[in-house]
Amino acid sequence: MDHAPSIICLAEPMVWPNKFPKAMMHGIGFSVNFIHNHRKDKPPNLWVMWRREVKTPTIIMTFEQQITMAMEMDGVMHLLIFVHAESLKAKQRNLWYDIASMRNPRSPWMIVEDFNCCLY
């Protein structure tokens, strides 16, 4: 069984996209193309990469706290939502509105998240 991921998401790489390690990613079988979100005056906090043999994902929407994309896997289109949420609940409201707007997708979907929650 192959345990190599077809897609990966990095949260908080803390560098600008022009510093993306294209040669390294190509060397381990990933496309040198990637998707990232945009944030005001800050580097992106989400980068999504995929293997070269995987069909390039389609961006549905990107915001400061999430990337939503469609990707074909095993002949089936999937909706993937990658989240890196703000720490403050008030700033998470827009994220929840964005996710709620994706109601009733016609294909399988998944949320991969880092909600930055502290329980105490």
Model confidence at 105, in pLDDT bands (50, 70, 90)? low
Higher pLDDT, 91 or 61: 61
pLDDT at 15 over 60: yes
Q: Where are the domains of the chain?
A: 7-114
pLDDT value at residue 120: 45
Q: Could you name the CATH architecture of 7-114? A: 4-Layer Sandwich (3.60)
Model confidence at 48, in pLDDT bands (50, 70, 90)? very high
Which DSSP string corresponds to the chain? -----SEEEEE---S-GGG--HHHHHHTTB-S--EE--BTTB--SEEEEEBTTSPPPEEEEEETTEEEEEEEETTEEEEEEEEE--SSHHHHHHHHHHHHTT-S-SS-EEEEEE------
pLDDT value at residue 1: 46
What whole-number percentage of the chain has pLDDT above 90? 36
pTM: 0.83
- Residue 92: other Cβ atoms inside 10 A: 17
Instruction: Give CA–CA dist 31/21, Å, rounded.
Output: 11
Span 56-73, average pLDDT: 90
Span 31-56, average pLDDT: 92
